[in-house]
Chain A
Amino acid sequence: MQDVKNKVRQFLRDNLVMGGDVAIADGTSFMEAHILDSTGFIELITFVEETFGVAVDEEEMLPENFDSLANIDGYLARKRAAKPAA
């Protein structure tokens, strides 16, 4: 969903990015592009939990789930699919 990517992109720009208007493509690895360091990822995961109302399990804290906008989007979609609608 574009909404997820935009919200996370805005959060990164406001809080964690190296400053300036860095373009963050959907597939950009935050680690490769030096957008986030280790504590940056912790802040990002906290943001995702609070904003999208999910609880991130430790074993889910992996690059496949969090190291790009597309990965976060995919992770949240899987998470929602796994949880029966309330």
Chain B
Amino acid sequence: MLLHQLFETSARKLPGKTALVCDGERHSYADIASRVDQLARLLHARGVRRGDRVALFLDNGLEMVAGVYAALRLGAVFMPVNPLTKQDKLAYLLNDSRASALVTHAALRGIWQEALLANATVHTCLVAGGSTGDSGRAGALPERCLPYPGPHDAVEGPGIEPQTIDQDLASIIYTSGSTGDAKGVMLTHLNMVSAARSISTYLGLREDDIVLCALPLAFDYGLYQVLMSFKLGATLVLERSFAFPVKVLETMARERVTVFPGVPTMFTLLMNLKGLESFGLSALRMITNTAAALSEEHIRRLRALFPQATLFSMYGLTECKRVTYLPPEQLNLRPTSVGRGMPNEEVWLVDEAGRRLPNGSTGELVIRGSNVMRGYWEKPVETAKCLKPGPIPGEMMLYSGDMFRTDEEGWLYFVGRKDDIIKSRGEKISPREVENAICSLQGVVDAAVIGVPDELLGQAVKAFVVLKEGQALNERQVIRHCLARLENFMVPKYVEFVTELPKTDTGKVRKKGLA
């Protein structure tokens, strides 16, 4: 089974049903299928073929959803890119993946236009929402850029039968790496179909569900809301963001939403609203949480606010999508556990030497299953560090880099990262990537970045900066410099200037001493 076939089956079965509600419009399954077909034909006519990478640099919306399935229809590989990405990083992603096509939005022009100037691989850039750009600014761009097709634009072209099999790549999703360079997680159709099946099975998602997604689709947790809703023939209500929680709640009530996936930062914002009860969310039957653990206090308050809804605590990483979930009936017994492995997947803990540990131990989590990625795109060294041979010849197991403990019955509790990756707002942040950005600022000699506890964000990014002698910079200048280069969630919340950084005997920065 191929990932897009899950959607096509629903579209054949339920053509008139509402598949997607977004930007004030309702789209039926047949509508979406025809938009996908149109976009696939256009990309095909422009020369996009099986295995080519198609970058989707878009906010949540119809174009993003259609882009995913159009790429898959062609046998191409979709690459979702967070719309908060800045120009240098976007250029890196396009160059690293050698993307052939880019689908984006006119509102993001300032970013993609500059990125395309530093990229020669993208031959087709489709621009939604207005003009294709300032032709005077970039001589090479006009031939590469064309408008995203309107709903009634006919696109002629032959039928497309790319002969895709489930071992082919469906997606590359970039994630932060401890080395500072983002790594492309390679996921096959088999990986993604397996994950979508396991997750929708344990959640018990149904065709009559109405799912509200305010998570970015560039984040796999958001992306899978589309993949699973469309697999089941359910309805997806897609919000641009959670910036205005009251507005999202009004939408939830109006659409009679039954499933609400969130992250702790979103739940914190929700619970700080007075009068939440007055919104009329009685249809809500399920809340899911991942990316970071909810505190016991949060769990208690969420359950009090939505007594009719079951709450799933889950844990995962892009490299295999989801790993564990806690069955809701266990929540009272072990509120801080993230549960056990999901269906069709085996997980266990190992010690430093890779030996399997008994229940009641602490160690690194290892994952075995059809959902485990095929590696990092063209990064064999990084791949070899986390994918290691399994018991059956040819199979690979994922070493997560996340430390867990198990209780006597084998339920898992998150302990921390093996490396120094920071988790803020549910996003992984590489301290090295932030340090590199700070060190490119004139007058900076050295920088060290750590995560510090933060009530809303989980962890907040804090930077320690050493300046050249005689240099004067303030906190704002460092933050502004980072805002121009990093996704907003990576930008330090705190900057402290120090005369030197604590070092180990080998000259490496000793972060343990920083706080």
Contact with A along B471-489 (1 / 0, CB 8 A): 0000010011111110011
Q: From B68-76, B225-233, B237-245, B415-423, give the one contacting chain A.
A: B237-245
Q: In the docked arrangement, what's the CA distance between A19 and B479, Å?
A: 9
Known contacts: A34-B84, A37-B84, A63-B247. The answer to whether A16 contacts B456 by CB under 8 A is no
Instruction: Indicate if A15 sits at the interface (CB-CB under 8 A).
Output: yes
Cβ contact of B457, chosen from A14, A20, A31, A39, cutoff 8 A: A39
Q: In the docked arrangement, what's the CA distance between A18 and B482, Å?
A: 8
Instruction: Indicate if B375 sits at the interface (CB-CB under 8 A).
Output: no
Contact with A along B264-278 (1 / 0, CB 8 A): 010001000111000
Contact with B along A24-46 (1 / 0, CB 8 A): 00000001111011111110000
Instruction: Indicate if A50 sits at the interface (CB-CB under 8 A).
Output: no
Tell me the minimal C-beta distance from A28 to chain B in angstroms: 10
Residues of the B chain whose Cβ atoms lie less than 8 Å from the Cβ of A36: 243
Instruction: Indicate if B83 sits at the interface (CB-CB under 8 A).
Output: yes
Known contacts: A20-B484, A61-B244, A61-B246. The answer to whether A34 contacts B83 by CB under 8 A is yes
Asked if B483 contacts A41 (CB within 8 A), the reply is: no
Instruction: Indicate if A3 sits at the interface (CB-CB under 8 A).
Output: no
Residues of the B chain whose Cβ atoms lie less than 8 Å from the Cβ of A63: 244, 247
Cβ contact of A19, chosen from B242, B274, B485, cutoff 8 A: B485
Instruction: Indicate if B107 sits at the interface (CB-CB under 8 A).
Output: yes
Chain A residues bordering chain B, tally (CB within 8 A): 25
Asked if B275 contacts A40 (CB within 8 A), the reply is: no
Asked if A41 contacts B244 (CB within 8 A), the reply is: yes
Known contacts: A15-B479, A40-B488, A58-B246. The answer to whether A32 contacts B107 by CB under 8 A is yes
Asked if A31 contacts B83 (CB within 8 A), the reply is: no
A59-77: which have CB < 8 Å to B? 59, 61-63, 66
Asked if A38 contacts B241 (CB within 8 A), the reply is: yes
Asked if B488 contacts A37 (CB within 8 A), the reply is: yes
Residues of the A chain whose Cβ atoms lie less than 8 Å from the Cβ of B274: 58
Q: In the docked arrangement, what's the CA distance between A60 and B64, Å?
A: 30
B443-493: which have CB < 8 Å to A? 456-457, 476, 479-485, 488-489
Asked if B246 contacts A14 (CB within 8 A), the reply is: no
Q: In the docked arrangement, what's the CA distance between A38 and B241, Å?
A: 7
Residues of the B chain whose Cβ atoms lie less than 8 Å from the Cβ of A31: 240-241, 243
- Beyond contacts A17-B480, A32-B107: 11 other A-B pairs, Cβ-Cβ < 8 A, are A15-B476, A15-B479, A19-B480, A19-B483, A37-B84, A38-B243, A39-B456, A39-B488, A40-B488, A62-B247, A63-B247
Residue positions of A touching B, CB distance < 8 A? 14-20, 22, 31-34, 36-42, 58-59, 61-63, 66
- List, sorted by A's number, 17 A–B pairs whose CB atoms are closer than 8 Å: A14-B480, A15-B480, A19-B86, A19-B484, A31-B243, A34-B83, A38-B241, A38-B243, A38-B265, A39-B265, A39-B425, A41-B243, A42-B456, A59-B275, A62-B247, A63-B247, A66-B244
